[in-house]
Amino acid sequence: MLAGKHVLLGVTGSIAAYQAADLIGLLNNQMASVRVIMTQAATRFITPLTLEVISGHPVTVDMFAGTGAYVEHITLARGADLLLIAPATANIIGKLANGIADDMLSTTALAVTAPLLVAPAMNEQMWFNRIVQANVERLRKLDVHFVEPEYGPMACGGEGWGRLARLPVIVRRASEVVGSAVARPEDPGRGKEFPG
């Protein structure tokens, strides 16, 4: 289902961001074209250059780094068949749930008409926080798809719920979401191509 599809991958500031490189590799193996948007926090865990080399496309971090030749967040949004945010922090989930657009990823997410798939990764106490869970439930009601986090060793020590789902599980879910998606009548050109 992902062959020939344009996947826009959002990477946020979780320790699990290092897995984005392998996730891109798996998506490439499915013959998907992958473009990456990173938050500034994500760049503290893995470099944009690493993801650029693996994806074969420029990585976007700064909203204002472009030449002005095109409105990048709109162009990226229009080119996507799927916006996959993995790993997704409590911060980006809160922004999405409340319509906050203050960086390249959250701004692009508000412009995307393609399906949105979120793969959370955070400490168990954060994942089960009532505010985070309310934000997740709100997004579900808005037809946002989720890949549930898993139980296992945590970066902070001990074990708990909140680990990023295994990458093959994320890719399989991405395929399911893309396979069941129907283009909205107002966006017949969705997924045509990415810039650059």
Domains annotated on the chain, with CATH: 6-180 (3.40.50.1950)
Residues of the chain with pLDDT under 70: 65-71, 182-196
Distance CA 140, CA 145 (A): 6
Active site residues: 156
Position 40 scores a pLDDT of 96
- Give the angle 138-139-145 at the CA atoms, nearest 5°: 140
Position 109 scores a pLDDT of 96
CA nearest neighbour of 83 among 183, 178, 180, 189 = 178
Position 169 scores a pLDDT of 98
Position 22 scores a pLDDT of 98
Exposure on the CB side of residue 8, measured as CA atoms within 13 A: 31
